[in-house]
Amino acid sequence: MNPTPRFSVLMTVFNGGSLLASSIESILAQSFPDFEFVIVDDASTDGSVAVLESFASRDARIRLICNPVNSGQTACLNQGLAECRADWVARQDADDLSDPRRLEAQWQAIGHNPSLVLLGVNGWIIDTSGQGSGMIHAPLHDAGIRWSLPFRNPFIHTGVVFRRILADGSPVCYDPAFRICQDWELWFRLSKEGALANLPDRLISYRHSSTSLSNNFCGRTHEENRKIVNRIWSSHFPGQTLTAQESRLLENFRDGLDPAHWPAFQRFYAAAQRTWLSGAGRARDRQSEAVHMLQAAGALAGVSPLAAASALGQAATSHPAWTAKTFWQRACGQRLRC
């Protein structure tokens, strides 16, 4: 094994169950082989350790760390980061799948843009049986990602790669105060260090589960979301504080808009964008606008076809080519998915 691999793939595991093996296999099958695979098991009780030990005995790239006591995902992520040796860390969750081309595509993109500190991908949503159930749309370019930061998490955690060491020599770490939304908080801090991007290719399949941390601890998730959004808003718009109504609109947008809030959200979005674009050097990114409007259309579709059509029309107006391509991908999803 290369003592200084190009990537350190970082996975944390707690009771990975029947989905764990396929997730590990999706990394070991990468067309880009120059990586180490750091896996931290957080005191699993379901036989995951035996699965991990079996893989580690067959592939020297795997470095397995087994905790005797459960400490939570954020602590395990930081524990794993301390063990990583590569300049770039690639995340992988224990129930998700990476396309075999993922790391190769990300390495090529890094080579073309040395200013990058954080690079993600677009993705598919799958259920526990592996069947496609939707798509995750991410803004592609630095300007659009920065504009998106207070509205939604603009990166899929399981699909990112990021620099392990910052320009000042300090190591990257997750904030232990965040148990669920630690990734979103980290992306905001990394946005101050260099360029951000997402690849347009859908190179991960994200497993949607009703037992995820964010679903099981909705109150904690909302609390952490509000803290992150307030930090980002204060940075984006110095001297401006979100009102209670604006905070509710942003929360409603993340959770799934309802028709009653749609007109108010449109006005809030447009006013915030005018203020944002008035800043020196800030460029409009129509693809990120289309991402937001398509998200709104999806949330509204089941409750108000008229409001959904309005949001879809705004997406098509903002970026017709991207919107059309997205619909084509959805139609061909079963064939294109990882």
**pLDDT one-digit tens code per residue, 130-168:** 888 899 999 999 999 999 999 999 999 999 999 999 999
For residue 106, what are the CA distances in angstroms to 20, 80, 118, 134, 268?
Answer: 23, 21, 10, 23, 35
Sign of the alpha-carbon dihedral angle for 321, 327, 331, 333: positive
pLDDT of 259 > 50? The answer is yes
Residue 221 has pLDDT above 80, yes or no: yes
Give percent of the chain above pLDDT 70: 95
Give the pLDDT band (50/70/90) at residue 210: low
Quick one: angle between helices 48-58 and 20-28, nearest 10? 20
Write out pLDDT tens, residues 65-107: 999 999 999 999 999 999 999 999 999 999 999 999 999 999 9
Q: What is the pLDDT of residue 335?
A: 47
| Residue 264 pLDDT | 96
Task: Please name the residues in contact with 185: beta carbons below 8 A apart, sequence gap of 6 or more.
Answer: 174, 175, 178, 224, 227, 228, 231
pLDDT-derived band at 215, boundaries 50, 70, 90? low
* DSSP-derived 3-state class of residue 275: helix
The domains of the chain, with CATH numbers, are: 7-215 (3.90.550.10), 238-336 (no CATH)
> pLDDT confidence of 338, banded at 50, 70, 90?
very low
Per-residue confidence at 206, pLDDT binned at 50, 70, 90? very high
pTM: 0.94
